[in-house]
Amino acid sequence: MPAFRTTSHLIRAYAESNPSWKDSHDEATYCRDVEEILGWGVRLFRGLVQIEADLQGRALAGKVDPSDPVWAEYDKAYRSLVAASEAFLRMGEDLSARGYDVEGLDDLRGAVEEGRCQIELWDLEPELPAIEEARPFLRPENPRPARYGT
């Protein structure tokens, strides 16, 4: 039974094979998957920035009220995107540390940093006084008092 003998040899060779290439292949495939996720994160950040610009334009035109629930929804979506992107950023940075050239890593890193700054500004906003409340604290030696309506 030569067919069985050949099959036996193939099975033995298969069982004794060194699948080290498989680990490298799996890691490279994983890297590509992470790169795709990073790209989507950057596109989502750009989309949210465009949505905010549209909302700001509509607000300035008097079409969206500052108390409209859309602002809270936007804030929640933005914070959620930053949190998720931070996790994906760590995945990309881990791959980069292992020697992979991770496409889109710098772009997402910049978007996440911008997102963190934006959230910090939003969190500080309630603590900042309105210009009307700040006017009494303007110093007379201010080089441009007309700028502040004094």
**Per-residue pLDDT tens for 43-66?**
999 999 999 999 999 999 999 998
Output the six-digit token pair for 42.
């950057």
**Per-residue pLDDT tens for 80-117?**
999 999 999 999 999 999 999 999 999 999 999 999 99
- 23-49 in b/e form (b: 16+ CB < 10 A) is eeeeeeeebeebbebbeebbebbeebe
30-44, 58-72, 101-115, 123-137 — which is least confidently predicted?
123-137
Torsion sign (Cα): 108, 113, 114, 116: positive
Q: What mean pLDDT is reported for the chain?
A: 85
Q: How confident is the model at residue 37 (pLDDT cuts 50, 70, 90)?
A: very high
- The greatest distance separating any two alpha carbons of the chain, rounded to the nearest whole angstrom, comes to 105
**What's residue 52's pLDDT?**
92
**What's residue 148's pLDDT?**
58
Which residue shows structure tokens 């050239």?
101
Q: At a CB cut-off of 8 Å and minimum separation 6, what does 104 contact?
A: 35, 38, 39, 42, 92
Query: Is the CB of residue 45 less than 8 Å from the CB of residue 111?
Result: yes
**What's residue 126's pLDDT?**
85
Q: How confident is the model at residue 131 (pLDDT cuts 50, 70, 90)?
A: confident
